[in-house]
Chains A and B, each alone.
Chain A
């Protein structure tokens, strides 16, 4: 496959499929790509190699048009990738599979549904979709599991499904970003075979792959090696090895690195253990861990001697991490037993914890503390005596070459240095046992070799037992003994060379593959190969629509979003049950009806007149009487404790003064702590006492005591009983239909950003409007269902009828939820995390919806900023519709303006979301 052809033309003499000229790309201050120029040949398998973080993913995203180009020029498939029209036209010819196992898949959707979604995005009619899906599933051996949710597939299967999704529209250029990272070696081999077969069927297709596994790159036709954002070599693998004068790509890669990067690098030498300590550091006996019906670790047993370097080799999700967590006590074992240093593992034993150092898979130190602060914190928590802390921290800083970065925050440091810091933290308390979960994943080969030198020193010089997991074969070979793990089971335990010998395999990888094949029975791949049909997908070019707006693509998103929500009970419960519960609590709880005011009388007169005065209070439903007060000190005290809100003080001689017309004074003491309540109470008291006084005047003076000869008739309109509930329930419906739909919609988009499936939006022909409307539709539907349930509760539970036009209420609600979900989409199109989206939506919407919408204070009484804030948010326009149709009995004639404004809000929010959402990643 190798060829000596120069870069400009491919092995089969076509013009290059991609040309990159002087491309620079920065993330903040760090440059991911630095003045990159290269031509990628067409019609062959081209690879981009290099460790993590050297710019491979950035390059692939740029050439596929998924990421926005900052500086330089890129020509892909004969057109400028900056040109939006070219991108629109070519995106149906490019397939882009993002990094991360199954990142572009939807875990709750089945295998078939995932593929169906992609088919719809490319506008394929149903018959064609079915045919293509059937063929792809057969070709990849996934055909027995069309109904299995993608999230429940093994790593290898996920990766095949991702590939199927990429191939469904028959691309001319297939871009695969690290497709094999974290997959077991057997699946990896099968994957490359599959790619080869696909290429054999479609020789014109160009494939561009990135990988961090150097040994895989040896099969590529052409490769470009990247380091630190720069190109360090291009050509066929044979060329590159020849240039470096090495026999493997990994060695060649290290040789080709800039001199300062590889200064002092020499191959890792594993010294043999000098003393064999037969005592055991770890004994695991039948360790089992189940999560529900899923068995993550299945009766795993092994023994590790003191001072040994013991490796766990296996793919992602095979149970390595769970086993390690059981040994640290983080995860209780369902069955089985583990002993550390001969004692049964006790998760609560602080002394054992001090003898163990642990390094978890991802970086797990405090990014916001400096390197030194992290070390000091751990030293202190491990109870290193205060006088020795400084010395030990300095020792660690120098041992692990961290002195230069001691006062920087790990967030800003390269992965290799962070890895060293984690190891330093794990050994700061001189533990006897180190448990390291994939300590070197994502670290470049040189840093990895250095890291291993530390480990070897710890093991050989200090006799520390090291238990680590990895998916790199060459690291496994450096271990004293390894255990091969697959699907929760240990396949074999032994010295690497012995294991290879037992299987008559040339390398450890071959041995592992042979164990895997034995474990999984006959190779399914062989069958699949035979079933590959000749007149398959390759003979026909997909009919892909490039029209600007297509309902099918919108529907694809709406359909998929709906399925996802229906399968997420937490979100669904939040969407439907949440508003109901809140309506019930608020309907009953928020009330401005002031009743049952507790009062007590301080009657110092005790005459017929004084009793008559208080009699009226007793009969009122607004007041509830408490035991009488006997002294003014008591009156103060009881008001102070809040036992009573009102005290009526009748002075001595009240009756006599009243009779003799001396206008006796009655003191009323109100608890003003809650002004609304006090104000209302004041009104009640004044009314009651005037009535009593009038009555008294009438009976005493015998004249018609209408003191002011007019009638003031107060008509409480819309709500004759003047009950809060008639105003609160419609208001709460207004509140629920803004908060919940907006938050749901906001999460809808941001979730895709966080999980990575947003890549499908960026790499397929779906337009921003189709995407947004497709996302919005299900949430509008859910909000309307929620509205129906709220309406039901209002009618049946609270007995609040819709007095006005139901049609206007219904139309208003549709327009309102379109506006509120549109608001959520708008927020989510500029936020990048779900947390930010939730809090931003809540904070922005709660203030205008609660305070300035007319729920608590009528909008007509607002002025200035409050009024503006209120009117600039849809809530204040729906509140009149809700309360108008429920309580005021209004119809279209009164409310048409509110309907129009809501419609405008909906359109404006959607337009704003469309502007804020970028089709390309910045």
Chain B
């Protein structure tokens, strides 16, 4: 046993030295845990943010201008006035997500109690902005009309006072979400690529043969790769979480960071085992790349880190449960945002362990058979 541990340790040191000697990989790691997280968190927002709006104002009254002025950044870009003949071509070309049409004599009709209509055209192919944006526009318009009629605040006129609290992210800022999910996605990408590539590199350079004739077992080889790469990735991810996410992006972290790191270690193990498993199915780095990329894309996009898990069909949710990423996403959301502790998240952790061990076992079974044959 002691020998096994020593071997894993020595091979792990070797693995770290190899990584140190590969500046391209190091740059890749730094890039993914810094710039890539910052850029995506601040760049790609799923919330209504700077949505492009146009207004067809055929009323040209004080009220219509009021409505126009009420559309403010950051929800909307400054509205652009267009003619009603331009609506179709402009929306066809995707220049605006929303076009508000205010009919002639709108203000007059309102005052004389004729219940005029205002139309919001929504480009319903802009999935992330159309629905929520329309809701916002709707309530902004109603609010403006209500204030115009010198009523009290609109809400006050309702017989119920609804108080909405968004827990864990009161202002529903998407970078709070995206940044942490990017950290997770990048752990996935790097764990699979680094561990798989480390194995394929040994195979392509013939060094794996060398290891296999020495008094070293395949388990030791696999574990040393997972542990060494895991050490680097988990360290980088934790730093990224503390420096980029918490400090730079100002995302408050509710839960216990040590717990998150513990989970990340388990997750990294299971994903790295998957990387090694994938590597045993390919003969070259090129094939590994071709196989790994779709796996990564699916694991990242369908894990619940981009779109809600419950929006997926049930069968697909079940299939995804066989991969580690949905468990870790739900674990990370619970710990980091909701401040959950072990009593709450242990089922996810257990699932990660089981999945990881299963991948690792299959990889170990295939390892020796596959690693030495080049045919």
Contacts and interface: CB of A to CB of B under 8 A. Distances in A.
Interface of A: 291-292, 294, 325, 328-332, 347-348, 350-351, 353-354, 356, 358, 360-369, 373, 377-378, 380-383, 409, 570-571, 574, 578, 581-582, 585-586, 588-598, 613, 639-642, 658, 661, 663-680, 682-683, 685-687, 689-690, 692-694, 696-697, 700, 706-720, 722, 724, 726-728, 739, 743, 747, 751, 833-835, 838-839, 842, 847, 851-852, 854, 856-863, 865-866, 880, 883-884, 887-888, 890, 894
B214 A668 contact: no
A613 B161 CA distance: 13
Contacts of A593: 311
24 contacts: A292-B375, A329-B212, A356-B213, A360-B209, A364-B207, A381-B215, A589-B313, A641-B344, A663-B159, A671-B168, A675-B46, A675-B174, A709-B115, A713-B120, A714-B137, A714-B138, A718-B124, A727-B126, A727-B127, A728-B127, A835-B197, A860-B52, A863-B50, A888-B125
B140 to A, nearest CB: 10
B250 interface: no
A880 B110 contact: no
Given A588-B313, A591-B311, A368 B22 contact: yes
A834 B289 contact: yes
Interface in B28-73: 39-40, 43-52
Q: Which 9 A-B pairs have the closest CB atoms?
A: A672-B169, A368-B21, A719-B124, A672-B166, A838-B289, A364-B206, A834-B286, A683-B135, A860-B52
Contact of B115 (A671, A676, A706): A706
A668 B209 CA distance: 63
Contact of A329 (B138, B213, B308): B213
Interface string B165-207: 1111110111011000000000000000000010000000111
Given A686-B139, A713-B119, A658 B43 contact: no
Contacts of B126: 727, 854, 857-858, 861
A894 B293 CA distance: 35
B205 A367 contact: yes
A516 to B, nearest CB: 25
Contacts of B118: 710-713
Contacts of B135: 683, 686-687
Contacts of B340: 640-641
A858 B94 contact: yes
B34 to A, nearest CB: 15
Contacts of B145: 708-710
Contacts of A331: 372-373
Nearest to B293: A842
Nearest to B11: A381
B210 A365 contact: yes
B1 interface: no
Interface stretch (B227-235, B294-302, B353-361): B294-302
A851 B211 CA distance: 43
Nearest to A598: B310
Given A331-B372, A368-B17, A592-B311, A710 B110 contact: yes
Contacts of A838: 285-286, 289-290, 293
A369 B14 contact: yes
A825 B197 CA distance: 24
B128 interface: yes
Contacts of A715: 119-122
Contacts of A839: 289
Given A353-B215, A860-B95, A712 B138 contact: yes
B47 A675 contact: yes
A382 B124 contact: no
A672 B168 contact: yes
Contacts of B209: 325, 328, 330, 358, 360, 364
Given A697-B159, A714-B138, A366 B207 contact: yes
A394 B218 CA distance: 29
Contacts of A673: 168-169, 177, 333, 337-338
Nearest to A654: B160
Contacts of B373: 291, 331
Contact of A665 (B47, B163, B344): B163
Contacts of A884: 92, 94
Interface string B241-271: 0000000000000000000000000000000
A112 to B, nearest CB: 25
Contacts of B287: 570
B334 interface: yes
Given A585-B302, A714-B120, A842-B293, A678 B169 contact: yes
Given A665-B161, A709-B115, A670 B167 contact: yes
A854 B129 CA distance: 11
Interface residues of B, number: 130
Nearest to A891: B92
Given A689-B162, A716-B122, A851-B43, A722 B310 contact: no
A288 to B, nearest CB: 15
Contacts of B216: 381
A874 to B, nearest CB: 16
Given A367-B205, A585-B316, A834-B285, A712 B129 contact: no
Contact of B213 (A358, A694, A720): A358
B89 A679 contact: no
Contacts of A751: 286
Nearest to B157: A707
Contacts, number: 396
B146 interface: yes
A665 B14 CA distance: 64
B84 to A, nearest CB: 14
B165 A347 contact: no
Contacts of A851: 40, 43-44
A648 B48 CA distance: 25
Contact of A708 (B20, B96, B154, B312): B154
Nearest to A747: B286
A683 B129 CA distance: 12
A366 B14 contact: yes
For A351, A381, A593, the residue with the greatest tally of chain B CB atoms inside 10 Å of its CB is A381
Contact of A671 (B167, B197, B211, B290): B167
B200 to A, nearest CB: 9
Contact of B307 (A328, A591, A675, A880): A591
B108 interface: no
Nearest to B177: A675
Given A586-B302, A707-B157, 10 more contacts: A369-B14, A592-B128, A592-B131, A673-B169, A679-B48, A685-B164, A715-B120, A719-B124, A834-B286, A839-B289
B130 A834 contact: no
A590 B301 contact: yes
A693 B159 contact: yes
Given A360-B206, A589-B312, A712-B142, A890 B164 contact: no
B321 interface: no
Given A719-B125, A851-B43, A851-B44, A642 B310 contact: no
Nearest to A673: B337
Nearest to A325: B372
A774 B161 CA distance: 70
A368 B207 CA distance: 12
B364 interface: no
Nearest to A677: B308
Given A582-B294, A835-B289, A888-B92, A717 B164 contact: no
A665 to B, nearest CB: 5
Interface string B1-25: 0010011001100100110111000
A813 to B, nearest CB: 18
A852 B94 CA distance: 14
A722 B177 CA distance: 25
A589 B77 contact: no
Given A673-B337, A727-B125, A858-B94, A682 B166 contact: yes
Contacts of A854: 94, 126
Contacts of B213: 328-330, 353, 356, 358
